[in-house]
Amino acid sequence: MAETLIQRALTSGVYLLEAGLLVLLLLSGRWRRLFGVFLYLLLFFAADAVGRTYVLYRFGVRSPTYGYFYWLTDALLALAAFLLVCAFFRRACAQEEKMWRFLRLFLVSVFILTVGISLLGLSRNYTHLWSFGCTFIVESGQNLYFTCLVLNTLLYVLMQQLKSADDELGLLVCGVGIQFAGPAAALALFHLTGGEPFVRALTSFAIPACTMAMLLVWLYAIARASRPVRVAAREGKIPVLAEVTASSEVSAG
């Protein structure tokens, strides 16, 4: 009973944060500059809060329809996350066109390699087309999430090497890192222990908890960039209110 209440509380918190961030981006007019983040949040809200909730109450949690819908949307969200990380790479390399051209080729190659590994890993084990297709969707989605975790870590290291002053991008990247690192660790523990009940419960908590943490970090990053702050007086002038602006005005999407 307590486990169910905690899960519902975490899930409800995620839905509220998703909706709140979308509203904040729209009202502040920053959805254009953060189009990649806005589009990812919109897809996340549509698939997670609206689509999955409807299918869950319409068909039930143990129905094949809910299972198919969940894993299909999971793969779509994994692809959206990969594209979002690519958009972050583009923003980080806004002043480094040569580096971006190399990274663009690298990211495309990584995507093709990830899909290829998913195909090769299943081609010898499944002969039925439907079974192969369903398993491929699940496996490719999980592989893409792991790929996003690795790429996001590389992006953070790259930003440190470039000495990026884009604090907003840094917070967005850190949020994505939280989103992927927690579930990856929980799922690894799940496989190592063979799905022990305690670990199973921990995994079910880790995924929404990490999503909530990511959304809170994003909320802080977006709200902070929209908040006026006091600027210290210079050369004897009276302090004035100034709008905090990101060091780079390049779009995140």
Query: Which domains does the chain possess?
Result: 2-243 (1.20.1070)
pLDDT in tens, 110-153: 999 998 887 776 655 555 555 656 777 777 888 888 899 999 99
Instruction: Supply the pTM of this predicted model.
Output: 0.82
- Could you say which DSSP state residue 233 is in? P
Considering only CA atoms, which of 218, 249, 216, 245 is closest in space to residue 229?
A: 245
DSSP 118-180: HHHHHHTT--SHHHHHHHHHHHHHHHHHHHHHHHHHHHHHHHHHHT---HHHHHHHHHHHHHH
pLDDT at 164: 78
Name, in order, each residue with C-beta under 8 angstroms of 223's C-beta and a sequence gap of 6 or more.
24
pLDDT in tens, 67-109: 889 889 988 999 999 999 999 999 999 888 899 999 999 999 9
Q: Distance (Å, rounded) from C-alpha 218 to C-alpha 235?
A: 36
Evaluate whether 172 touches 84 at the Cβ level (below 8 Å): no
pLDDT in tens, 144-170: 888 999 999 999 999 998 887 888 999
- Asked whether the predicted pLDDT for residue 228 surpasses 70, the reply is no
The more confident residue out of 243 and 165 is 165
Average pLDDT of the residues in 210-234: 73
Average pLDDT of the residues in 32-55: 93
Cβ-count burial 12-23 (b if 16+ within 10 Å, e if not): ebbbebbeebbe
Considering only CA atoms, which of 152, 130, 24 is closest in space to residue 81?
A: 152
Per-chain mean pLDDT for the chain: 81
pLDDT at 182: 77
